[in-house]
Amino acid sequence: MAITKAAPTGADSHEPVRGAPEPEEPTGAGQDHGGQDHGSQDSAGQDSKSPLVLTMLLLLLVLLQGPIRGALSAPVMQSWMTVFVAVLVQALPFLVLGVLLSAAIAVFVPPAFFARALPSRPALAVPVAGMAGAMLPGCECASVPVAGALVRRGVTPAAALAFLLSAPAINPIVLTATAVAFPRNPEMVVGRFVASLLVSCVMGWLWQRLGRTDWLRTPERSHYEGPSKGAAFWNSVRHDVMHAGGFLVVGAMAAATLKAVAPASWLRTAAENPLVAILALAVLAVLLSICSEADAFVAASLTQFSLTAKLAFLVVGPMIDLKLFAMQAGTFGRGFALRFAPATFCLAITGAVLTGAVLL
Amino acid sequence: MNRQAQAAILFLTGAALLHAGFTNLYLRYVKAGLQPLLLASGAVLIVAALATVWYEWRSHKSGDAEDHDHGEGHVHREPRISWLLVLPLLALILVAPPALGSYSAMRTGTALQQPYGFNKLPAAGPLDLNVVDYATRAVYDRGRHIAGRPIRITGFVALDRTGAPYLVRMALNCCAADAQPVKIALTGTIPPVLQPDKWLRVTGTYTAKRTKDPVNNGPIPFFRVTAAAPVATPKDPYDESWNN
């Protein structure tokens, strides 16, 4: 974990734009997103053209339908596109659910509620928030925007992160799916619950001790305020769907590429050595980016692997995968994701191995 | 990307989800149980698009009347990454890729699982079994209840490197990303020309012959074919019997 690095990378976008000549726009500069701090006139000009660009793009593609279809008819491309579309069609409803929930938290729940609901000592708030993850019925796509909203509402980041990590793995839907997928090994369900909760609490405490606020690009509040609550609510929904959705597309592309291109025979060689097997399945969980409601079935089908390796797959997958990494980078900033993801990955493997040694 | 363009993308995405949800298109990508959620999220996206346009229009009006206080609607942009949302839209509306077929089936090992138990079969007459059913009974029940009876199975054709034919059905738990094939090897009177990905209904009998999937060493039972007829792709191309 690169904790000693002092240079904050993604946090400087909140500073008032360096040398911004005119202070005439009271709110505009602060609302700018990270990575878009070039000349504002220039991009504003570009900006007004975006409906035109969109229309042209759509028209062009409709006109070129035939040739495009031809190029996409190769079996690799077809299978790539099917998986790509499937990941998105599957994830979008859960993303929308998470976004609605997060908008509701951001607009309708007063910050005082969380101050009362969570213990004031962060060290205690972490496990409480981790357990609260069991109440979000959905997969990881829903948990990222909700965790973002929690941070915005003043929940201590350590607790919000524990929630972010635990929610996709320990909710009843996911645990039921795990029980169905492993009819002969009910201890897998217990193992998954224990290991996931353990790892998310440890990550929360770790963040509380070592984390620095400037690593976390706190999502700005301003566009959650509008002329009315309704405006603020839909504004938040629109922003989160566009934002997280874009990153979801990146993750879906990566997962589709892996599924369509990587040969399955690699796995067989990896399964021979028990340690390599655990690592291999952990890496596979990251690369495949399967929804946490379905990953148990995939794990069950990897018959060559040990139960501990499968547990590592089930613990790592909901906490960190390509699509989650992209979404975390989008919500909390790249500087955060680059530190948080490797730490989560290592801890999740450790947690799974320890739990596996005790339970399985 | 400004708000009009965002509203357009939200609207189109919502419409695409509704379209996929109301036709059987969504069954190519996700499990049948996701339909209500798909429709609901499509509707929410469309409402979000309309709300965006509505509030944009209102802030325009009030912005003209009062000061340029609500100019934020023009200054604030989403990051460029939002443009990527155009890609799935195009893929879904223009291309609508088919359900996973023989290409993925032959790259992935057979996913046959030992079942809890077996349903009772009708006492007489030809048996209509699906691919997963036949394969589990042949492998884990050693064909005890199906031997000697005429059996009909529907699945799509896949050919391995040597050209040997298989009848395959992809089993799905959640979405096509986790779809896994269950394979039956064909023997007996096989039609001379078999095209991969074409759906067939084969009639024949159980045989105790078995082979191993080269990809994951999983068991693949054989089926002795007496007749084969092409059929249309089923409404739900995947086998979802593991879902419940």
pLDDT at A85: 92
Q: Is there a single domain that holds both residue B126 and residue B239?
A: yes
User: What are the tens digits of pLDDT across the range A181-225?
Assistant: 787 788 999 999 999 999 999 999 999 998 877 788 765 554 555
From A32, A89, A234, residue closest to B30, measured CB to CB: A89
DSSP code at position A334: H
The ipTM, to two decimals, is 0.90
Compute the average pLDDT of residues A163-184.
84
Q: Is there a single domain that holds both residue B209 and residue B184?
A: yes
- Residue B175 identity: C
Q: How far is CA A5 from CA A1, A2, A215, B163, in A?
A: 10, 6, 10, 57
From A263, A294, A303, residue closest to B175, measured CB to CB: A294
Q: Which residues of A touch B6 (CB under 8 A)?
A: 238, 242
- Residue B125 identity: G
Q: Is there a single domain that holds both residue B225 and residue B117?
A: yes
> A325-339, B31-45, B146-160: which has the minimum mean pLDDT?
A325-339
pLDDT at A47: 57
Contacts of A97 (CB under 8 A, 6+ apart): A138, A142, B37, B41
In the structure, what pLDDT confidence band is assigned to residue A10 with cuts at 50, 70 and 90? very low
Let me know: does B171 contact B111? Beta carbons within 8 Å: yes
pLDDT at A59: 83
Cα separation, B113 vs A303, whole angstroms: 9
Q: Which of B95, B127, B151 is the last residue of a domain?
A: B95
pLDDT at B114: 81
Q: Which of B78, B95, B112 is the last residue of a domain?
A: B95
Q: Is there a single domain that holds both residue B59 and residue B112?
A: no
pLDDT at A33: 39
pLDDT at B197: 92
The helix/strand/coil state of B159 is: strand
For a pLDDT cut of 70, what percent of chain A falls above it?
A: 81
Cα separation, B15 vs B19, whole angstroms: 6
pLDDT at A352: 95
Chains A–B, number of C-beta pairs less than 8 Å apart: 246
pLDDT greater than 70 at residue B142 = yes
Q: B33 touching A, CB under 8 A?
A: no
The helix/strand/coil state of B176 is: helix
Contacts of A343 (CB under 8 A, 6+ apart): A1, A203, A206
A52: number of Cβ within 10 Å: 11
Cα separation, A261 vs A246, whole angstroms: 23
pLDDT greater than 70 at residue A20 = no
Q: B86 touching A, CB under 8 A?
A: yes
What's the domain count of chain B? 2
Q: Determine if the pTM surpasses 0.90.
A: no
pLDDT at B73: 42
Q: B97 touching A, CB under 8 A?
A: yes
Q: Is there a single domain that holds both residue B62 and residue B113?
A: no
Tell which wins on pLDDT, A336 or B124.
A336
Q: Is there a single domain that holds both residue B34 and residue B131?
A: no
- Residue A241 identity: V
Cα separation, A59 vs B233, whole angstroms: 32
pLDDT at A344: 94
Q: Is there a single domain that holds both residue B129 and residue B223?
A: yes
Q: Which of B95, B118, B146 is the last residue of a domain?
A: B95
Residue window 41-60, chain A: list those with CB within 8 Å of chain B. 43-44, 47-48, 50-51, 53-54, 57
Q: Provide φ and ψ at B46, rounded to 5°.
A: -65, -40
pLDDT greater than 60 at residue B25 = yes
In the structure, what pLDDT confidence band is assigned to residue A29 with cuts at 50, 70 and 90? very low
Contact A25 B71 (CB under 8 A): yes
pLDDT at B63: 64
Contact B44 A75 (CB under 8 A): no
Expressed as residue numbers, the domain containing B24 is 3-95
Q: Is there a single domain that holds both residue B39 and residue B142?
A: no
Q: Is there a single domain that holds both residue B79 and residue B108?
A: no
Contact A234 B108 (CB under 8 A): no
Q: How deeply is A216 buried, as exposed, middle or buried, from its count of CB atoms within 10 A (0-12, 13-18, 19+)?
A: buried
Cα separation, B32 vs B9, whole angstroms: 26
User: Which domain CATH number covers B150?
Assistant: 2.40.50.140
Let me know: does A95 contact B114? Beta carbons within 8 Å: no
Closest CA to B117 of B91, B136, B89: B136
Compute the average pLDDT of residues A4-29.
37
Contact B17 A242 (CB under 8 A): no
Q: Is there a single domain that holds both residue B140 and residue B204?
A: yes
Q: Is there a single domain that holds both residue B86 and residue B115?
A: no
From A94, A237, A243, residue closest to B48, measured CB to CB: A237
